[in-house]
Amino acid sequence: MPDSHTYLQQVLQDLGLNLQAFAGSDCTIRAPRDGAVLAHLKWCGAAQAQAQIANAQRASQTWRNVPAPVRGDLVRRLGELLRRHKAALGALVSLEAGKITAEGLGEVQEMIDICDFAVGLSRQLHGLTIASERPGHRMMETWHPMGVVGIISAFNFPVAVWSWNAALALVCGNAIVWKPSEKTPLTAIACQHLLLQAMAAFNADRPGTVPEGLSQLLIGGRELGELLAASAQVAVVSATGSTRMGRQVAVKVAERFGRAILELGGNNAMIVTPTADLELAARAITFAAVGTAGQRCTTLRRLIVHESVADALLARLAAIYGSIAIGDPLTDGTLVGPLIDRAAFDAMQQALAQARAEGGQVLGGERVREDLGQEAWYVRPALVQMPQQSAVVQHETFAPILYVLRYDGDTDMAIALQNAVPQGLSSAIFTQSLMDAERFMSAAGSDCGIANVNIGTSGAEIGGAFGGEKETGGGRESGSDAWKGYMRRATNTINYSGALPLAQGVRFDV
């Protein structure tokens, strides 16, 4: 197994990145794979953060006047740099967030994909033409930049979530200010470094087009997130993280009538009906429940399985869980890497104790691979059969715990069980019945932002709008028309009649 520190040096060299400017003693960054110290960094102070936000605000006033397709060219250049450095940035994600190699690379691929999407979008920020009720009048909608978009991100998708927001916000004509997770600042420094390179190359070809300060990075703790949420200079706050965080950010942003895009916790379920292809379901369940060591917002946390197929499916899952490769995320063949830190391990053990107290039967969940480091927290994913959807099942524990609930009624009963939690991010049904599948996707079906058929709950493509309802926050990011969240809409009415007719037939003769 390569030494984390040496590995980091190789990655930084590939990226042409020197961490010296960020060195300090405010925080220590460790590699989850072995607990090794990667860096000691300084945090950004409040006054400096305010100055950076003001800088971004100034930059936004220039950037908004650059034609959108030209703005797209900047994001195209970022995408090219990401292609060139995919292996190094992916490895840095694995090193800092503990993701297996394929998932680290997958995250960077997602960044490349959203850049491509945003470049196309830069020529399609369309408004509508609307029929006017008045003669000689035309109505239309135009879309304009908001100003500064603040991005608060979580540790578990340290780079992809930024790119979803940054690529769209930039083509939509905004400046960006990013407050990454305090657990994963190195990947953020690397992304900012690549974007600054793209900007420099862009300005070399089109002098003065990208204003200084267009993209700002704030390294530090939650206080900086609070500062972004409270700042009247930040028109949009896109916050990804726990429901606890979102509840605080939502209030702060609402108090000043700002716009919030909230991407918060999930408690995702899969329904397995009597007609399901069980082998397909077992494979989908495994990826969704144990992938990224259960640390995805879309991780499968609840399996709602029909009594008639439950024993067969559980036997298959128990066999898979018993043989799954857990270990160093940078080693080929590993499927489950470490938890992010000790606090995540403690939270998992607490949840398992609560599940036992609520009548659950727990398989797995114990610490493994202590040989990889005292401060490396690997666990065997847990399968927990629950007698009912009790308190622990209704709560998102950010670890690989899959609660299994059986149902013996019709599919409506399973859907009701699925919807009876506070969160509403992702959901899935495995079935060969067209009627069950359609019912699941109907108005009376899943209440989540994502409702899949014969696919697991995680691993969404960037082309669709991503996000969820209820305590997941209601925000949408990435594809479809999520770009509208980064722009303001103006309705324009143009009178070319020479008369002044009023709407609704109102007469006001002067």
Instruction: List contacts with ligand NAD (CB under 6 A).
Output: 152-157, 179, 181-182, 221-222, 225-226, 229, 240-242, 245, 248-249, 263-266, 297, 396, 398, 425, 472
- Residue 174 or 426 with smaller CB distance to ligand NAD: 426
Nearest-approach distance from CB 39 to ligand NAD, in angstroms = 17
Give 435's contacts (C-beta < 8 A, 6+ positions apart).
Answer: none
Report the Cα 90 to chain-centroid distance in Å: 16
Give 290's contacts (C-beta < 8 A, 6+ positions apart).
Answer: 321, 324, 335, 336, 381, 400
> Is 263 known to be catalytic?
yes
Give 251's contacts (C-beta < 8 A, 6+ positions apart).
Answer: none
Question: Torsion angle, CA of 493/496/497/500, rounded to 10 degrees?
Answer: 40
Tokens of 217: 């990075």
- Residue 14 or 226 with smaller CB distance to ligand NAD: 226
Nearest-approach distance from CB 403 to ligand NAD, in angstroms = 16
Nearest residue to 459 (alpha-carbon basis) of 302, 284, 242: 284
Nearest-approach distance from CB 234 to ligand NAD, in angstroms = 12
DSSP 283: H
7 CB neighbour count, 10 Å cutoff: 20
Question: Active site residue: 103, 110, 263, 477, which one?
Answer: 263
Nearest-approach distance from CB 181 to ligand NAD, in angstroms = 4
Comparing every residue's Cβ against ligand NAD, the nearest one is: 225
Q: Give dist(CA 359, CA 372) in Å, integer.
A: 33
Instruction: For 345, list phi and psi in degrees, rounded to 5.
Output: -65, -45
- Residue 438 or 481 with smaller CB distance to ligand NAD: 481
- Residue 181 or 389 with smaller CB distance to ligand NAD: 181
- Residue 156 or 174 with smaller CB distance to ligand NAD: 156
Nearest-approach distance from CB 152 to ligand NAD, in angstroms = 5
Look at strands 129-130 and 137-145 and give their pairing. antiparallel
Show which residues are catalytic: 263
